[in-house]
Homo-oligomer: A and B are copies of this chain.
């Protein structure tokens, strides 16, 4: 059973994580726990956000069960509840299911056509395949 109909990108809570929220998650996957201010430090630059925006996103992520909060005096420390690999795996599967009927090979073909594959990528993929076959 390679194709899975039900989507479920990260389990924990099962709620979908939006694009903006994802940026916040990335910051916390890179390092955690962090305070809201620290997260902002990381993402506000890149995305042109202000603190309130980050606060909102953090709250929504907590609601969605994607982050845990741990009180630290007057503030919160935020920690991811879903692993990056779970999220990434889920999103990848979603794409492959939606666009390629669940088959990864056509995806690779497209990436190749789009020149998204460098020679290094090709070498690395071959290495991966070798390992997989073992």
Contacts and interface: CB of A to CB of B under 8 A. Distances in A.
A31 interface: no
User: Does more than half of chain A's interface fall in helix, strand or loop, or is it mixed?
Assistant: helix
A81 interface: no
Interface stretch (A47-55, A58-66, A70-78, A88-96): A88-96
B107 A92 contact: yes
A96 B116 contact: yes
A106 to B, nearest CB: 8
A102 B118 CA distance: 10
Interface residues of A, number: 40
A92 to B, nearest CB: 5
Interface in A105-133: 105, 107-118, 120-122, 124-126, 128-129, 132-133
Nearest to A105: B124
B128 A129 contact: no
A99 B95 CA distance: 12
Given A95-B95, A98-B22, A103-B121, A128 B108 contact: yes
7 contacts: A19-B98, A92-B110, A104-B111, A104-B125, A105-B128, A109-B128, A112-B128
